[in-house]
Structure 1
Amino acid sequence: MKALIVPLVVALATLAKSSFPHLARLYDLVKRPIPQHAGAFRFALAPGNPTAIDTFTLRDATLQDDNCSAQIDIECNSISACARGLYTYVTEFGGVDIWWTGSRLDQITSPLPPVGTPVTRSSVVRYRYFFNTVTFSYTTAFYTFEDWELLPDWMALRGVNLPLAWAGLSEADIADFLSGPAFQAWNRFGNIQSSWTVGELPRQWIDDQFALQKKLVSRTVELGMTPVMPSFTGFVPRTFTTLYPNASVVVGGQWSGFPPPYTNDSFLEPFDPLFAALQKSFIDKQTAAYGNLSHIYTLDQYNENNPYSGDLSYLANITSATFASLKAADPQAVWLMQGWLFFNAETFWTNERVQAYLGGVPGNDSMITLDLYSEAQPQWQRLDSYFGKQWIWCQLHDFGGNQGMEGNFANVTAAPIEALLSPGSTMIGMGLTPEGLEGNELVYDVLLDQAWSSNAIDRATYVLSWTSRSSTVYSNTNPSSQATVKSISELEPALVGLVNRTGHHPTLIFYNTNTMVVPALKMLIEAGYELKELRSVLEYRYDLLDITRQLLTNRFIDIYQSLIIVYNSSTSTEDDVSRAAEPLQQLLFDLDRVLLTNSHFLLAKWIDSAKVWSRGNATPSSYLEYNARNQITLWGPTGQINDYASRQWGGLVSGYYARRWKAFVRYLVETKKNGMTYNATMVSDIMLEIGEQWDKQLLGSEQSIPVEPTATYGTGTSTQESPSRRMAVP
């Protein structure tokens, strides 16, 4: 949720001219969202140790003359600290905010609210990290600069100073090795190669991404952030051994059941002299293209793909040679890696192997490990604070960009502080590593706010100030079902195994829908009637839809279970099954109709954002559209990671999920009518065929399920009339 949130009293400020030219970008940071208030803020960068913990002070301005009408002074020891100071002022004193989906900063009152007693705050960690490698595929794969522009401001204001910079590509003479735009992340990880789409990655897309990356890294640096830059990981095309037959190349394992043409990536071992040569060439070209912007490099070698050998000396040699290649290219290099492998392949990565692997890198300040899944599966305790190497406490969340409301609010406030203060801790940061940016912003915001408080944030007070009332869907303490909650309506239909899942594709609803979601929706609706101005507020409309979406998807469980009970009854007929399925299809119709009212929940937005990169050319357009479609459905040529990146989007619900459920119901009716035994394999084959057909069709050819919105639905204690018929969505 993002705007339960919408302040009923709104405020914002003005902006001053800088007497320090190097602070000019901070004034731009104010001008972009609130140009009508130029002149209200004055920034001052205090001299000091550049490695000191970031600190800012807010106070009412005392100096005013003809050239400066500042009302608020923000003094800081870094650009990032000043940006965080600005955010603290506009949120805590001005009552406004900025989100991934938009900004209300222009609604602050004028004149600005006074600070009163000066406020000084310091970050409790050196780094505030943002992004996961896969975010660049699940969310931003098809972003233009206009789509991106809000995110750097969002990061800077919240105090992020270490973002991953994976947006673009440079040169590519290996087009048949590169995967499509929606799957680039796993190409970089060495999991997959090539493309199962007809054709190859358009060269124009590569050139456009290169131009985009130039703009993004420039904006990132201007806002006081240090971009984490790519480096050569060692993954090479199969043809590499043709050019260098004596190279030390090993072939990685098969990933997630992908057929050999698309996996088993070739890996040039770091102790081969060619590795260092390619590393230097890569970094030199990158520096020439973007400038000398950073000394921190992302490099992940074994993401869901184990090393060639588990021998301790082999593992140490791998990292020793890898870091030597970075150091030769950049003497100040710091290696940053995601620590997902240590959890995901815990059986392989024993403590001894992890210690050998990390120990190959000399010095504890030469490497930073992202403890990627700290909120549910922290590894820093098991691995003795990464055996002395620096690490960052991270919140993963949002697997595949799924949209279910979920979060462990208590954990992301108390646990990072406990980790920071634990004996022998080498933790140096807090970070957000979401797989997608699709909602649940509260649990992301609170972690970045916690990075500026040495005590665990009081949850009740924080939620009240963030949402104007208590929120309880962010209290998930089950580590087996954290990071996402998927609706069963998005999963391949089946007779058993869909409800109350934990682990992969978790569907367990850990809260009471009737006591938490229903009252929240009721209060939002009532607020819209009492204060009609809310209906035009985009954040209100977003939240109204988002909570309606969550209610409908939760109700789907009741209807599905009723259908299965009827089907399993020895006395039921095919007509009984058909009648039991009607409310299921009705709900999907209603859900799709609601989703189509908001641009943030549209399949067309995702598809169109992919096709725009084709510049109107038919062949690249088809290639890019297939990429976009396949990721959110089959995720692979034949459903290798089926439904992992599912979304509840208007057009996708009616055009794909409803089509699958309609086919499932038809199969149930036929088996009941003909006395056949249910065959799960046959159902899966039907669903695969539907997926393959849908992925290859043109946008707009999906047909909504032919059901008119006439029935109510719900069973047992969860009976609830469709919100889309009880009230008009503003």
Structure 2
Amino acid sequence: MKWPQSVLSACTLAHCAQGVQALNFTGLQSLVQRQIPQHSDGFIFKSLDGSGDKYTIVDTPEKVHSITISCTSLSACARGLYTYLTDVGNVDIWWTGSRLNQIQSPLPPVEKSISGEAIVPLRYHFNTVTFGYTTAFWNFDKWTNLLDWMALRGINLPLAWNGYEHILVEVFREAGLSDSEIEEFLSGPDFLPWNRFGNIQGSWGGQLPMQWVEDQFTLSKQIIQRMVELGMTPVLPSFTGFVPRALPIHYPNASIVNGSQWENFDTSLTNVTFLEPFDPLFSTFQESFIRKQMTAYGNVSHVYTLDQYNENDPFSGNLTYLHDISAGTIASLRAADPDAIWLMQGWLFFSSSAFWTMDRIESYLGGVEDPNAMIVLDLYSEAQPQWNRTQNYFGKPWIWCELHDFGQNMGLEGNLDELTNGPMTALNSPGSSMKGMGLTMEGQEGNEIVYDILLDQAWSSSPLKIADYVKSWVSRRYRTTHTPADAQNAWRILSTTVYNNKDPNSQATIKSILELRPSLTGMVNRTGHHPTLVPYDTNTTVLPAAKLLLQASNSNPHLRHIPEFKYDLVDVTRQLLVNRFIDLYLNLLNVYNSSSTSPNDVSSAGSQLVHLVNDLDRLLYTDESFLLSTWILDARQWAGNGSQANASYAAYLEFNARNQLTLWGPDGEINDYASKQWAGLVGEYYSQRWDMFVKYLADLKANGGVYNDTVISKQLLSFGQDWQNRTWGVTEDEISGTKGDTFEVVRELLQTWG
């Protein structure tokens, strides 16, 4: 299958005529200036004839201590630069920060020409909800680091949601809707992804201020410009069909229905109104939206994200109806942009598999007759692939995606074997229409190795050798040519156990029961969406790994100054503690359920459990990557700083930030879905909930009462509603900062809990 030349103005996907048309390397040169300023003139980029994404790396003969990278596309040049920096320079850029500027001077030579080629034309990044769970409150400085990380790893098709509401509001205003009618539709700032999906409407923390809408629009221009400069094609929003409840008043003859209820939210906050795409008004809105968007950003992309049934079933299961929905959708896109490509998440075919039978899937996808007019993200390929049961999405181009993380939860887990072999099997299967590989995690948090290896596999024609890969990855992560054997052994253990989980029912970040609302039942050994089942033996995996990392820091004190090493030591020790928590919880149940124990016995068993939670909080406070205050400060910054801060707006933003982490809804509709193991949240919230639960059990034991889950649930909900209305502070000094020495705290905790 060949992509049309007009996919993008820059031909990034098709690489059309790039052998003839010289590439503009200004963006990559700026990246070098940002990340490796001491070598700002040390890299020369050149265009290379050919199709696909290819690069070659050589020394520059006419210029000493300079490297020449030739490529067929900007994305390939960025990847070539990354290959040089990692394979030759032994430096890398991580979520914890860039270490690229620590490459040696002069630049190490290229002993032999290095070449690389992508095995798929598309390398995708982002889930729609990542813009709620991870980047909701980011400023452009944080976006800058992530965009550089993405470009260097070869991503060329990222989602770009910021600024959507500004365009949408303008479309609705043009259609005659009042600002009050529009504002009643929009959700809180970190809940907007689900408003865009048509899951929720409105807000439970106050109406979304237009200041937020305009600030995000300004930010979106910076993000999209940077994406294009770095050779990435932004996947832009489009009009989805989800509209304010007042639209039928203005257009009484339009074909408008209400969607289904989502996650037990009150109908005032869900059952979102949907303008059906076969109605002419849909096309009118679509053309208005894309015209305004193109005016704002320029002709930078023809790929549009559009999801109509994310965890929402269609109004009808009639095959003709489903066909007409998608046919009307693509027709509206093509009327607005003749080269439009519709990108959709394939999550619905898994999450609502009872509705989406094969004939319904075929009818829905079949409404898009041009196979080049649609791309499907096989969202959960590593555990629940849908490409194989849908006959390669009935011939539509699709992308092999790694989901892995739900709600930006924190728990060590992965399947390195599947991430290296799975995409190759799919790509080489008979009739494959796979065109890409990508990351679709709900939240970008921890487990970096499982995401890195998939992006690297996109540039290898055979499955990567895991043992060699891990050794090299650890070496550059800790920035030492001779990484201590203890550190390598720690990762050898982790990569062959924790990151070798072959059970698809527990393949996702392992959610700790410590973060769940306390209860006597339903806590342990969960599988599926949010597994709490720990699929490995803690005593032979994370425990020795933590000990080995601590030993490595003792034998090589240099490691203590490497942020990534410190992060990993905290992360592995964190996992040890939350796994130990399960044992203490089960002991508490045994003590409570025993007829021979006393209230003091219950209190004693519970105190050990609360003690561990507080120890976890103390551990997390030692590293800046594990602070609740960062999330809150990022939220509050949009209300201004110092004397210029808008106090009520800052409180509104903090409320939304706190609610998502905890109740996720006014009454805990998806309580603890987006839970985090962050210092402050663990000590202020989870510790107090468990303390309340233990006291409740001890009181029952003393008074001969009967456990009632509804009673304790109401108490904990009341506590959560109180906590989310608190404010941490108003200045950066008040709410940020680490406490304690990581290595001393880890030593103590290993003695206590090891």
Q: Common fold, TM-score beyond 0.5?
A: yes
User: Which of 448, 451, 456 matches 2:458?
Assistant: 451
The worse-fitting range, judged by mean Cα deviation, of 631-640 and 682-691 is: 682-691
**1:542 maps to which residue?**
567
- The correspondence of residues 573-612 of structure 1 with structure 2, limited to 5 A, is 573-612=598-637
**Are residues 1:415 and 2:414 paired?**
no
Aligned residue in 1 for 2:69: 74
Distance in 2 separating the partners of 1:505 and 1:165: 27
Does 2:593 match 1:568?
yes
Counterpart amino acid of residue 367 in structure 1: M
Q: Does 1:496 align with 2:517?
A: no
Q: How many residues align?
A: 683
Pair 1:623-2:630 in alignment:
no
Partner of 1:695: 724
Distance (Å, rounded) in 1 between the aligned partners of 2:328 and 2:602: 64
Change (3 A) 1:153 1:722: closer
Q: Which amino acid letter does the alignment assign opposite residue 418 of structure 1? A: T
Hey, what's the Cα distance between the residues in 1 that align with 2:349 and 2:390?
9
Map of 2:435 onto structure 1? 428
- How far off its partner does 1:118 sit? 1.3
SS in 2 for 1:229: coil
Q: Write out aligned runs for 1:341-356 (5 A).
A: 341-356=348-363
Displacement of 1:371? 0.3
* Alignment partner of 1:193 out of 195, 198, 201: 201
Q: 1:722 to 1:410 in 2, by over 3 A?
A: same
CA distance in 2, matches of 1:552, 1:700: 29
Aligned-residue offset at 1:725: 4.8
Counterpart selection for 2:531 from 487, 491, 506:
506
Q: Secondary structure at the match of 1:365?
A: helix
CA distance in 2: counterparts of 1:266 and 1:360, whole angstroms: 22
How far residue 525 of structure 1 moved from its aligned partner, in angstroms, is 1.2
Distance 1:451 1:215 in 2: 28
Structure 2: state its 5+ residue gaps: 1-21, 170-178, 476-487, 731-739
- 2:32 alignment partner in structure 1: 30
**Cα distance in structure 1, aligned partners of 2:319 and 2:261:** 23
Q: Specify which of 79, 84, 92 is matched with residue 79 of structure 2.
A: 84
User: In the TM superposition, what is the alpha-carbon distance from 1:352 to its structure 2 partner?
Assistant: 0.5
Match of 1:650 in 2: 679
**Partner Cα distance (2:603, 2:91) in 1:** 50
State the match for 2:262 in structure 1.
Answer: 255
Which structure 1 segments of 5+ residues have no match? 1-19, 702-708, 710-720
8 Å contact from structure 1 (residues 42, 70) kept in 2: no
What CA distance in whole angstroms lies between the structure 1 residues aligned with 2:40 and 2:87?
20
Shift of 1:596: 1.3
The alignment status of 1:129 with 2:124, answered yes or no, reads: yes
Question: Is this contact kept in 1: 2:23–2:74, CA < 8 A?
Answer: no
Summarize the Cα distance change of 1:612–1:722 in structure 2 as closer, same or farther, 3 Å threshold.
Answer: closer
Aligned residue for 2:141?
A: 146
Superposition deviation, residue 21 in structure 1: 8.1
Q: Is 1:673 equivalent to 2:702 in the alignment?
A: yes
SS in 2 for 1:32: helix
Given that 2:550 and 2:747 are in contact with CA atoms closer than 8 Å, whether structure 1 keeps it comes out as: no
Q: Does 1:487 align with 2:527?
A: no
Q: Is the 8 A contact 2:345 2:379 kept in 1?
A: yes
Q: Counterparts of 1:129 and 1:325 in 2: how far apart (Å)?
A: 24
Partner of 1:682: 711
Cα distance in 2 between the residues matched to 1:554 and 1:673: 30
CA distance in 2, matches of 1:251, 1:487: 37
Equivalent pair of 2:619/2:746 in contact (CA under 8 Å): no
1:321 aligned onto 2:316: no
> Structure 1 CA distance, aligned partners of 2:533 and 2:128?
27
Q: What whole-Å deviation, never above 9, does each CA across 1:131-167 have from its counterpart, x for those lacking one? A: 0000000000000111111011001000000000012
> Is the Cα contact below 8 Å between 2:128 and 2:193 reproduced in 1?
yes
Sort the Cα spacing of 1:516 and 1:726 in 2 relative to 1 into closer, same or farther, 3 A. Answer: closer
Distance 1:264 1:694 in 2: 29
Distance across 2 between alignment mates of 1:415 and 1:22: 35
Helix, strand or coil for the counterpart of 2:24? helix
Residue 406 of structure 1 pairs with residue 413 of structure 2: yes
How far the C-alpha of 1:547 sits from its partner, in A, is: 1.3
By how many angstroms is 1:63 displaced? 2.2
Matched residue of 1:691: which SS? helix
Q: How big is each residue's C-alpha offset from its partner over 1:269-325, in whole Å with a ceiling of 9 and x where there is no partner?
A: 011111000000000000101111100000000000011111111111111111010
Residue number in structure 2 paired with 1:156: 151
Could you tell me how far apart the structure 1 residues matched to 2:306 and 2:80 are?
32
CA distance in 2, matches of 1:690, 1:485: 26
Q: CA RMSD in A?
A: 1.6
1:333 alignment counterpart:
340
Pairwise CA distance, 1:685: 1.4
- Secondary structure of the residue that 1:112 maps to in structure 2? coil
Equivalent position of 2:61 in the other structure: 62
Shift of 1:168: 2.2
Query: After the TM superposition, which residues 103-114 of structure 1 pair with which residues of structure 2 at under 5 Å, given as runs?
Result: 103-114=98-109
Q: What's the secondary structure of 1:62's corresponding residue?
A: coil
TM value normalised by structure 1: 0.92
How much does 1:513 deviate? 1.3
| Matched-pair contact (CA < 8 Å) for 1:407–1:475 | yes
Deviation at residue 620 of structure 1 after TM alignment: 1.5
CA distance in 2, matches of 1:506, 1:579: 29
Structure 2 residue aligned with 1:704: none
Equivalent in the alignment of 1:521: 546
Distance 1:157 1:41 in 2: 14
**1:363-442 map, 5 Å:** 363-442=370-449
What percentage of residue pairs aligned between the two structures are identical? 58
- Seen in structure 2, the aligned counterparts of structure 1 residues 426 and 725 have a Cα distance that, compared at 3 Å, is closer
CA distances 1:86-129 after superposition (whole Å, capped 9, x unpaired): 11111111111111220111111122222222121110101000
Contact 1:578/1:669 (<8 A) preserved: yes
* Code of the aligned partner of 2:55: F
Q: Does 1:182 align with 2:193?
A: no
Instruction: Please name the residue that 1:311 is paired with.
Output: 318
Tell me if the contact between 1:326 and 1:333 (Cα under 8 Å) persists in the aligned partners: yes
Q: Secondary structure at the match of 1:400?
A: coil
Question: 1:619 deviation in Å?
Answer: 2.1
Distance 1:418 1:214 in 2: 39
Q: Distance in 1 between matches of 2:31 and 2:216?
A: 24
1:483 is paired with a residue whose SS is coil
Confirm whether residue 212 of structure 1 aligns to residue 219 of structure 2: yes
Contact 1:39 1:70 in 2 (8 A): no
Letter of the structure 2 residue corresponding to residue 168 of structure 1: G
Contact 2:65 2:109 in 1 (8 A): no
1:726 to partner: Cα distance: 5.7
Amino acid across the alignment from 2:230: L
User: Could you tell me how far 1:476 is from its partner in structure 2?
Assistant: 1.1
Specify the code of the residue in structure 2 equivalent to 1:659.
Q
